[in-house]
Structure 1
Amino acid sequence: MKKPSLPRNKTFAFAWFVFHALILIPCLFIIARAGRVNLDADLFNMLPKPDIGKAMGVADERLTETTGQNVFILVSHKDFNTAKSVAETVYGELESSDGFKSVSLYSDAAMLEGVTKFVHEYRWNLLDDEAVAALSSPGGAESFAENALAKAYSAFTFSSLENLGDDPFMLDEYILQYYLASLENSGTSVSPKDGVLATEYEGVWYVMIQGILSKEGAALASKSNAVVRIYEVCEPLEKDGVRFVYSGTPFHSHKSSTSASNEISIISTVTLLGIIILLLLVFKNPLPIVLSIMSILLSIAAAFAMTYMCFAQIHILTLVFGTSLIGSCIDYSLHFFIHWKANRTLTSGAEIRSHLMTGLLLSLISTELCYLILVFAPFGLLKQMAVFSLTGIFSAFLTVVSMYPLLAMPADEKRVIPLINMISTPAWYDKKKIGRIAVAAVFTVTLTTLFINRKNIKIENDVNKLYQAQGRVRDDAVISYKVLNYNPTGWFIIAGDTIEKTLQTEEALCARLTEINKGKELGGYVATSQYIPSAAKQKKSHEAAGNLLALAPVQYEMLGYDASLAAGLQASYDADGEKYVTPEGDIPEYLKKAISSAWLGEIDGRYYSIVLPMSITDEDAYIRIASEDPNVYFENKIKDIGRDLDRLTKTILMLFAIAYVVIVIVLKIFYNWKHTLKIASIPLLIVLVIASIFSARGIPLEFFSITGMILVFGLGLDYVIYMIENEKRSDTSVNARLEPFAILLSFLTTAVSFGALALSSFVPVHMLGLSIFLGLTTAFLCTVL
């Protein structure tokens, strides 16, 4: 039994140690310093961002983040008091939780008091367009004054009559009614009732609790996630006719992240068990199994560390996809241990490395090139997957060529794999003849299928199909939409060099929206300028309100006051001439909350706001309006993501073509044209087979399936490269069957990995796994036939 000397392998061993130390140690330090691992499972974060410029993109991300932290809890019961009582219990439990920035239930006079004071202070400047137009028209001031008298003597007003001495024309009342109407038209269908926000739908009362998650509370796949706390509080109370309806992105994200985390555990466990059983049957020796598993775990750890350091977080989908490395990384170990166990002509680990180096190196280059091109895709998640795979596969390669050669060789009498001797090629099988016929038949069937189903061959990405709510989450989403009548899917992003320019642009946009939606069920919208108009508009309001001053003496007398108060009113009016309010000024908390999702403020030196329609009545018109002003952008989130995915899919195909050309050039350096073309034909057949099967099933080619094509491109080349290297040796002994057997094992282990992904209920993972599994099977059959 010959043992390798350490000096012969010390360079390789040193490279292995340095590579892993430089990756793992800094990552452990970062995680230890932060005290937690930053996992991301947000549905929208796994999708491409809109190509709208850096600042606009930041504004869009900020809005998405804000809306992604909002939760609504509807407490329902046929009896309003019961629903309110349970809601108060839940509110009491959640109010002090660290998982929330804020939790709100009550809507009483105390909350509106700050708004009343604010309105009174700025009453001259906050009149809406309708009031300004009326006051500026002949007889308009007189009509406004008469209406104010009627309100003053009516049984109910929103504003306090104590301010009549300062506000004889009831401007406070008019503005408060306008604010409340705006809030009602631009938000949910709930309204104040007995101190809380509630609504009745089909004989059932729904009391609403609204929460905004904190950074810790929004952390997915974490015990600190606020959704977990909500369920802990609410579930024991769901009895005696009480039903909770949960609404908001965090509930969907929690469901998807929990499912993804569970799938990671199941897929990893099943894959490892399958591989362990397979290797036990082959080697009947624990050493190759233990070392192969250690190599896989080290590869995944290195891949995780590199990805985490590059992106400061890691998406849960990257980890799900990372389980596929189990099958990919073990390929190198299998080829080494097959020869270590059964090739008696090789007497040391160094000789095995030398024997396999060309095939291993070409396999590494072809696979890494395919992953490398994904790094240049304009998509964060894909970059994560690429870095994860690049690092993991290189780690596995280093382990095989650096550490395995240090192993002592087994005794000669034990260097045999019985399964190889049991597998023999039939005498009648002529590989050149039958293999060519088989491959030609595959090409023919594939092309025929593509021709028959040519109408189904299309690139189409439908985000709605990526995540389909199931069970309670789906039922709650349906009920919530019906009860709240709130489901915004698109918005306008407005930019300006100053706060004033941003507000003026927003006001012009809102005017256009009102114009194009005349006679339609607009459903309202949320906009900052509804509550805090631009200075220019406030000035017009101030000027229009000035038309009332001539009527002040008579108005005071009609209200029972001394007409001399008109002089003080004039002084107040004059003093407030330049008193303008801004969204970033001193405004009450109630209004801050009303515009919290609309005013984004300063980003990279410019100011941004959002106009959020409650429903999209005419998307083409909205897009056309936005195109008229470079400072306005309209985004329909779901549709735009689909279009961005279509664009990204085409980019991926272009990168695929570039990688294909580069790999052909690399192969030509090592092989003649015959072998080069033989290897190069495999990726083409893989693409045709995947496309034909998808078209036959009526499934359009989308981003994740085409990404799978590229990944299998590199993996599938490995088989034919190993086979050609074996054929070049012209060995007719039992050793000639070692490489085909290693390829078979490689295929089985990789197929188990990606086959498990194809069984995932998470659509992106399923499509990726299915595409790769089909491609690998095609590559393997073409190699062995």
Structure 2
Amino acid sequence: MANKLAILWALVVLAVGVHQVQFWRSASLDTDVLALLPEDEQAPEVDAATRKLADEAGRQVVLLVGARDWPSAQKAADEATRVLSEASDLLEPAVVDTSALEQAVDFYRPYRDRLLTPAQRQWLSRATPEELGGTALMKLYQPAGARLTDWNADPLGLWQDWWQARAAETSARPRDGRMWLSGEEREWVLLMWKSKVSAFALGDGSRVTATVERARSQVEAAVPGGRLVAAGVPLYAEAAAAQASWEMSTIGFGSLAAVLLLVWLTFRSLRPIVLVGVSLTLGCAVALSVTALVFDRVHLLTLVFGSSLVGVAEDYGFHYFAARQGKAPSERGPVMRALLPGMALALVTSVVAYLALGVAPFPGLRQMAVFSAAGLTAAFLTVVCWFPSLDTGALPVTSFAERFSASITRWPRIASTPAWWISGAVLTVLVAVGIWKLEPRDDLRQLQGAPANLIADQRELGRLLGLPSPAQFFLVQGDSDDQVLAREAALKTKLDALVSEKVFAGYRAVSDWLPSEAQQREDAALSARAEAQAVAAVSESTGEAPTRAEFSPDPLTLKHFLSGPAAAAIRQQWLGTLGQAQYSVLMLRGLNDPKVLPRLEEVAQGLEGVRWVDKTAEISGLLSRYRRIMGGLIVAGYVAVLLTLVARFGRQAWRAWIPSVLGTLLTLAIFGWVGAPLQLFTVLGLVLLLGMGVDYGIFLLEHPGDGSAWLAVALAGVSTLLSFGLLGLSATPALRSFGLAMLLGEVTIWLLTPCFRLPPGKDTH
């Protein structure tokens, strides 16, 4: 029977090998980080808007190059541009020069009469013929260089003010063919570059960051007092990738080396190391194939998370070799049969714990859950089916293993004595107070761990430029293009009141650049009437007969606008058709205080087709909701595990169950005592503890008084601690929260489990 299982598993492994060859030849790994985030199934248009804005922002690198005077700032900008241009395979300049402005002015010239600001609209509707005539006379004698067009085309100077309103979207202004601004005792040149690869696609190395740092060094070396301030999602993404890479190499390889050293000290043989390595390798290969078959694409971060199998999948091999030590090769079959019930029960609890991660609506977590569950199952089957056949040599008991196995007899055992009861009462009070002090905190901002220099540059750029944020915006819906633009206009009317109160700096909308056709007709009629009165007043005053210029008889359409040069700055905010409706995004500038967000949410109330979107708040709410769901799942999981243990161990099942319960409660209490927030990633760590921690009690109950079982538990605990617990040293807040929960829980459960072992002479069977 054993040989048949070994052959059957070999055929499965062969099929996996064939699939692996095909997979690596034809399939590419998914590197889009956004694919890991939850989708809003109730509002796919919100996801579409978020993705479009994020992809646009994910390619932009905004730089301000400054110096004490304008000539020095220009020289510094030249140096920075030269360095950035050398990375032409990685970066390309975005158009921010004055030629784009000239092209936009020419594009809009036939439609000048229907482009009015709200303030102009109010003034024209109430101004008297005398006021209009006086303004027109003043504009007539104004120097020609101060106007965008001749007097006949704009007798009231309306176009100049309209363009100034558009220019208010940024502090930068054209100067000597560059975009310039002044602030913080420096003259600045604005440079806009775009990464040729989205920042949300994980790459190899911090190439954009390295290029920007070379440009910074060159600016500081070439221009005394020169500065370069840079911000952009590519810089943040590369910093996060570099941090993750360093942590994976340091923590991952460090923990693997420590585990291998421990295995060598325990067994003093290469055979256990090689066979355990085979089980890990096959576990990862099967996990990858299963994941590729279940999901359309396998994400790169799934493989990164899958490296954590090193801390769990080798447990089955440890238990086998710990029990096999000191026994003749002929006893391999009986050893495996004796271990099989406990190992199968441990596998079930661990797989259930991993699959529980997939309950959350995060596609990334679901993929990681399937990968890990499949990998564990494959490692288990490798040990069960192949180890008895491949482990043919002798495996003597080492002095290290002998001493450690014997240490179980010196471990304190819980008993009904006053000292234990007092200790339990004190511990109960401490745990209760700690849990009472525990503070849930699901704000997404708490999970950000960006380098301080990037945050400083981002804040300085925000102060100088006032760039809009893609995290909060209004989504506007309509049955047609024109209805969307009209609803934008209604929304802007309400927002103008908040701008005047300085609640936020301003907004950027498609209708700023393209009014609805109805608005264009109204404005064209209003400006025609007002300018006719102004021209008549000028004619009466001067005795001349000037004529008003003619404009396009047709309105400016969306199709024509989007194909023109003026649409470049706003095109990403027009989402177009999604389903049966049209959508656009209105973005906000100067949102520096989160306290104003509720007032903005109120603006959307009562406006048909307008929805306020705060992705930070939505994801924070999602984290909170699933933290509670996963918390309830832990409680249900512990009940289910207890029932499973009772079916196997009867009245003694509590001995394997209670250490994990205490480990979870103590971990939560410690978080409460030290003021660490309770987050979803903390709870996810506790979910894994439920599956892994119970394993230790299972093996000690399965083999009471057997020192080899305690040795295997110790090896499993240390390897899990090294693989997961060291994530508590991570600079990434989410991984650190997860790692600290695993670290505290693992240590607690490992220390407590031997205290609940069976008294001498008792048996669970």
* 1:711-754 deviations in Å (ceiling 9; x for gaps): 11101111111122113xxxx6xxx2211111111111111222
Aligned to 2:335, the other structure's residue is in SS state helix
Instruction: Kindly state the Cα deviation for residue 702 of structure 1 after the two structures are TM-superposed.
Output: 0.7
Structure 1 distance, partners of 2:562, 2:192, is: 21
Structure 1 distance, partners of 2:319, 2:434, is: 40
2:102 aligned with 1:120? no
Aligned to 1:39, the other structure's residue is in SS state coil
Aligned to 2:582, the other structure's residue is in SS state strand
What is aligned with 1:272?
256
2:709 aligned with 1:739? yes
- Is the CA contact (8 Å cut-off) linking 2:66 and 2:187 kept in structure 1? yes
Of the candidates 406, 419, 422, which is equivalent to residue 400 of structure 2?
419
The letter for the 2-side match of 1:347 is: S
Instruction: Kindly state the Cα deviation for residue 258 of structure 1 after the two structures are TM-superposed.
Output: 0.7
The letter for the 1-side match of 2:142 is: S
Q: Relative to structure 2, which stretch is displaced further, 599-608 or 362-371?
A: 599-608
Unmatched runs of 5 consecutive residues or more in structure 1: none
Of the candidates 124, 132, 139, which is equivalent to residue 151 of structure 1?
139
* 1:489-538 deviations in Å (ceiling 9; x for gaps): 52212222321222122111111111244333531111111111112211
- Is the CA contact (8 Å cut-off) linking 2:320 and 2:335 kept in structure 1? yes
Q: Relative to structure 2, which stretch is displaced further, 87-96 or 253-262?
A: 87-96
Distance of aligned partners of 1:410 and 1:339 in 2 relative to their CA distance in 1, 3 Å threshold: farther
What is aligned with 1:698?
675
* 1:49-98 deviations in Å (ceiling 9; x for gaps): 56751222221222222223221112122232222123234335545855
Q: Relative to structure 2, which stretch is displaced further, 757-766 or 651-660?
A: 651-660
Aligned to 2:330, the other structure's residue is in SS state coil
- Is the CA contact (8 Å cut-off) linking 1:754 and 1:769 kept in structure 2? yes
The letter for the 2-side match of 1:59 is: A
Aligned to 2:167, the other structure's residue is in SS state helix
Of the candidates 343, 347, 372, which is equivalent to residue 364 of structure 1?
347
Distance of aligned partners of 1:260 and 1:217 in 2 relative to their CA distance in 1, 3 Å threshold: closer
- Is the CA contact (8 Å cut-off) linking 2:85 and 2:92 kept in structure 1? yes
Instruction: Kindly state the Cα deviation for residue 587 of structure 1 after the two structures are TM-superposed.
Output: 5.0
Structure 2 distance, partners of 1:45, 1:437, is: 56
Distance of aligned partners of 1:658 and 1:243 in 2 relative to their CA distance in 1, 3 Å threshold: same
Aligned to 1:409, the other structure's residue is in SS state coil
Q: Relative to structure 2, which stretch is displaced further, 640-649 or 359-368?
A: 640-649
Instruction: Kindly state the Cα deviation for residue 359 of structure 1 after the two structures are TM-superposed.
Output: 1.2
- Is the CA contact (8 Å cut-off) linking 1:307 and 1:387 kept in structure 2? yes
What is aligned with 2:695?
718
Of the candidates 173, 177, 182, which is equivalent to residue 166 of structure 2?
182
Distance of aligned partners of 1:675 and 1:628 in 2 relative to their CA distance in 1, 3 Å threshold: farther
Q: Relative to structure 2, which stretch is displaced further, 641-650 or 208-217?
A: 208-217
Instruction: Kindly state the Cα deviation for residue 606 of structure 1 after the two structures are TM-superposed.
Output: 2.6
* 1:89-146 deviations in Å (ceiling 9; x for gaps): 43355458555685246532x322222223221123222333333333362x653454
The letter for the 1-side match of 2:449 is: Q
- Is the CA contact (8 Å cut-off) linking 1:12 and 1:401 kept in structure 2? no
Structure 2 distance, partners of 1:613, 1:473, is: 22
Aligned to 2:583, the other structure's residue is in SS state strand
Structure 2 distance, partners of 1:445, 1:357, is: 39
2:464 aligned with 1:476? no
Structure 2 distance, partners of 1:466, 1:427, is: 41
Distance of aligned partners of 1:559 and 1:669 in 2 relative to their CA distance in 1, 3 Å threshold: farther
The letter for the 1-side match of 2:737 is: M
What is aligned with 1:342?
326
Structure 2 distance, partners of 1:548, 1:426, is: 98
2:574 aligned with 1:599? yes
Structure 1 distance, partners of 2:416, 2:714, is: 17
- Is the CA contact (8 Å cut-off) linking 1:217 and 1:224 kept in structure 2? no
1:7-22 map, 5 Å:
7=4, 9-18=6-15, 20-21=16-17
What is aligned with 2:763?
none
Distance of aligned partners of 1:273 and 1:12 in 2 relative to their CA distance in 1, 3 Å threshold: same
The letter for the 2-side match of 1:724 is: L
Distance of aligned partners of 1:430 and 1:768 in 2 relative to their CA distance in 1, 3 Å threshold: closer
* 1:465-491 deviations in Å (ceiling 9; x for gaps): 322333432332343233334463522
Structure 2 distance, partners of 1:438, 1:469, is: 49
Distance of aligned partners of 1:742 and 1:439 in 2 relative to their CA distance in 1, 3 Å threshold: farther
What is aligned with 1:610?
585
Instruction: Tell me how many residue pairs correspond in the alignment.
Output: 748
- Is the CA contact (8 Å cut-off) linking 2:468 and 2:590 kept in structure 1? yes
What is aligned with 1:133?
122
Distance of aligned partners of 1:649 and 1:99 in 2 relative to their CA distance in 1, 3 Å threshold: farther
- Is the CA contact (8 Å cut-off) linking 2:484 and 2:583 kept in structure 1? yes
The letter for the 1-side match of 2:609 is: N
* 1:361-407 deviations in Å (ceiling 9; x for gaps): 11111111111122121123322331232232122112212222221
* 1:522-573 deviations in Å (ceiling 9; x for gaps): 311111111111122112112212324653763684798974856xx5xx46
- Is the CA contact (8 Å cut-off) linking 1:76 and 1:243 kept in structure 2? yes
1:191-206 map, 5 Å:
191-206=173-188
Structure 2 distance, partners of 1:470, 1:341, is: 50
What is aligned with 2:762?
none
Structure 2 distance, partners of 1:379, 1:408, is: 41
- Is the CA contact (8 Å cut-off) linking 1:168 and 1:556 kept in structure 2? no
Q: Return the TM-score normalized by structure 2.
A: 0.89
The letter for the 2-side match of 1:780 is: W
What is aligned with 1:252?
236
2:266 aligned with 1:314? no
Distance of aligned partners of 1:176 and 1:93 in 2 relative to their CA distance in 1, 3 Å threshold: farther
2:306 aligned with 1:326? no
Unmatched runs of 5 consecutive residues or more in structure 2: 756-765
What is aligned with 2:155?
169
2:28 aligned with 1:39? no
1:148-547 map, 5 Å:
148-156=136-144, 159-162=147-150, 164-165=151-152, 167=153, 169-170=155-156, 173-184=157-168, 186-187=169-170, 189-215=171-197, 219-223=201-205, 225-240=207-222, 241=224, 242-304=226-288, 306-307=290-291, 310=295, 312-314=297-299, 316=301, 318-344=302-328, 347=330, 349-411=332-394, 414-423=395-404, 433-434=414-415, 444-486=425-467, 488=469, 490-520=472-502, 522-547=504-529
Structure 2 distance, partners of 1:415, 1:276, is: 18
2:24 aligned with 1:64? no
Aligned-residue CA RMSD in angstroms? 3.3
Of the candidates 748, 751, 762, which is equivalent to residue 781 of structure 1?
751
Aligned to 1:585, the other structure's residue is in SS state helix
Structure 1 distance, partners of 2:741, 2:448, is: 18
Distance of aligned partners of 1:328 and 1:599 in 2 relative to their CA distance in 1, 3 Å threshold: same
Structure 1 distance, partners of 2:144, 2:427, is: 77
Instruction: Kindly state the Cα deviation for residue 267 of structure 1 after the two structures are TM-superposed.
Output: 1.3
Instruction: Kindly state the Cα deviation for residue 154 of structure 1 after the two structures are TM-superposed.
Output: 0.7
The letter for the 2-side match of 1:154 is: Q
Aligned to 2:561, the other structure's residue is in SS state coil
- Is the CA contact (8 Å cut-off) linking 2:406 and 2:707 kept in structure 1? no
Of the candidates 558, 562, 585, which is equivalent to residue 560 of structure 2?
585
Of the candidates 22, 29, 36, which is equivalent to residue 25 of structure 2?
29
The letter for the 2-side match of 1:645 is: L
The letter for the 2-side match of 1:469 is: A
